[in-house]
Amino acid sequence: MKKQPQPARKEKRSTRNGAGLNSNSRRDRGSSIHGLRHPKTELESAIQRYVDLYDFAPIAYVSFDRAGRIEEANLAATELLREPRDLLIGRPFAFYVADLDSLLRHLLYCRTSQQQVKTELLLKSRKGEQIPALLLSTPITSTARNGALLYQTAIIDLRERKTQERVLAEQARLLDLSNDAIIVRDAEDRVTYWNNGAEKMYGYTREEALGKVAYDLLKTEHLQPRSKINEKLLHDNRWEGEIVHTRRDGKRLTMFSRWSLDRDAQGKRAFVLETNNDITERKHAEEKLELMSRLPAENPAPVLRLKHGRFISFANPAAEKLLRNFHVAVGDAVPAQIARIATTPKRTTVEMNFLGRTYEVLVAPVKDQDVNLYFNDITERKKAEAALKKSRDLLEKRVRTRTAELHAANEELKTEISRCKGLEGQILEISDREQERLGQELHDGLCQQLTAIGFLARATALRLKDHRVVQMDDLEKIAQLINSSVLDAR
């Protein structure tokens, strides 16, 4: 016997669970297939509690058979699909599905599997509203239907989750539009989010960075101990300051980093949102500005700025020392000697002598009729130039004297060369006459010796012809004369 549930009891529970009942919902409770008006046994009481739990569950439940026809539905399902229960029961579930292919695959998996089947698809309510939902179907045996196999299905409304996903996707898209590097680190400092700005700034892709320890990946250098940074982060839930990161190509970047701490349900550190802005160029510019701002003060040469060319508006330490000799300071009128050179309308350089020193002054007119004066003490340079000029004059004088001496010596040398050439001619002339005389003497000597040799040879020949004895002395004389003639000829 089917018992009807008490209307007042179900209205009270429905209201407690936040499910407002309309007229259709009241009719649903009256036609509930599980209604037991007056449970009298413990089993009936248990069944009633189950019915109440099923009907008033905040999640929509339906049970359909192998063909996909709805056999059971709770109140949350009627509210989700905007359909009274008496119209839901017996109607194909496909009537409320916008994506029929996904439902058919879901039913196929249900028939071929004994495990829970999950499918995400689009539902449509009676008014045509599309509802993204997740179906979780589990096979059960229905005792109320003589052991028939049903698929008890929880319908998870994904509208809120989808909205959150769209919001998160939009937020992620906006984060990717940022030129800053945005990184999310977990409690172990491993990268869980890496936006496009980080990819461009550091040269690592999102896939390469995810899961890596951020400190190791970027070779992070802190200007203060990391323990103090973490202590402040845990205390204030935020930290900001300068750090140094190294790009993939080895270039070091100075970053202004902001950290925000996200805690878990127990209040412990869960994630850290890190936003890094590249200030490398700005730091270089600041260093240049600081250097430029120090240059006038550190410049050992006097530097003045005159307001309207008359009043001293700035003086570096060297200029202040110079001005004390004139008993003036910043704010006073400039001494007349200096004021005269400040009247030039164009950039120019002049020399000034005062207080026993010589200065080269660069006069540089600037905007608002102001004038900058840059003094360069050239006293020592002037002394050096004078000494150099004196040395140059002395050297020129000595060069002229030496040149004259060399010119005179050259003339003497020319005269001597001419004389030597005359002597050479005379020597050659004498040599020729002497050669002729020596040749004549040699000729005469050889003729005499040959005559003597011929005479002795004929005398020796006559003795031999007359068979007389030849004297050895005569032969030796002949030999001596021949040798003497040979030597003279050589």
Q: Which is higher by pLDDT, 318 or 143? A: 318
Same domain, 146 and 252: no
Which among 259, 284, 309 is the end of a domain?
284
Same domain, 321 and 208: no
Which pTM does this prediction carry? 0.44
Which among 324, 358, 377 is the end of a domain?
377
Q: Do the beta carbons of residue 37 and residue 3 sit within 8 Å?
A: yes
Q: Is residue 96 part of a domain?
A: yes
Q: Which is higher by pLDDT, 146 or 286? A: 286
Percent of the chain with pLDDT over 70: 87
Same domain, 69 and 143: yes
Q: Which domain holds residue 117?
A: 7-157
User: What's the pLDDT at 9?
Assistant: 32
**Strand order through the sheet with 130-142:** 70-73, 60-64, 148-157, 130-142, 117-124
Interval 17-44 mean pLDDT: 47
Say whether 218 sits in a helix, a strand or coil: helix
Q: Is residue 427 part of a domain?
A: no
Same domain, 190 and 209: yes
Q: Do the beta carbons of residue 134 and residue 106 sit within 8 Å?
A: no
Q: Is the pLDDT of residue 411 over 70?
A: yes
Q: Is residue 83 part of a domain?
A: yes
User: What's the pLDDT at 222?
Assistant: 92
Interval 352-380 mean pLDDT: 87
Q: Is residue 217 part of a domain?
A: yes
Q: Is residue 60 part of a domain?
A: yes
Q: Is the pLDDT of residue 39 over 60?
A: no
- Return the half-sphere exposure (C-beta side, CA atoms, 13 A cut-off) of residue 250: 0
| CATH assignment of the domain containing 50 | 3.30.450.20
Same domain, 56 and 122: yes
Q: Out of 15-24, 134-143, 347-356, 445-454, pick the least confident.
A: 15-24
Q: Is residue 311 part of a domain?
A: yes
Same domain, 69 and 37: yes
Give residue 287's identity as a one-letter amino acid code.
Answer: E
Same domain, 123 and 101: yes
Q: Which is higher by pLDDT, 381 or 43? A: 381
Same domain, 57 and 146: yes
Count the domains in the chain: 3
Same domain, 148 and 78: yes
Q: Which is higher by pLDDT, 114 or 186? A: 186
Q: Is residue 290 part of a domain?
A: no
Q: Do the beta carbons of residue 44 and residue 134 sit within 8 Å?
A: no
Same domain, 123 and 219: no
Instruction: Tell me how far CA of residue 407 lies from CA of 308, 401, 404, 417, in angstroms.
Output: 65, 10, 5, 15
User: What's the pLDDT at 181?
Assistant: 92
Q: Is the pLDDT of residue 37 over 90?
A: no
Same domain, 212 and 277: yes
Q: Is residue 434 part of a domain?
A: no
Which among 345, 362, 377 is the end of a domain?
377
Q: Out of 144-148, 227-231, 459-463, pick the least confident.
A: 144-148
Per residue in 429-479, pLDDT tens?
A: 777 777 777 777 777 777 777 777 777 777 777 777 776 666 677 677 777
Same domain, 104 and 190: no
243 vs 276: CA distance, rounded Å? 9
Q: Out of 8-12, 119-123, 270-274, 395-399, pick the least confident.
A: 8-12
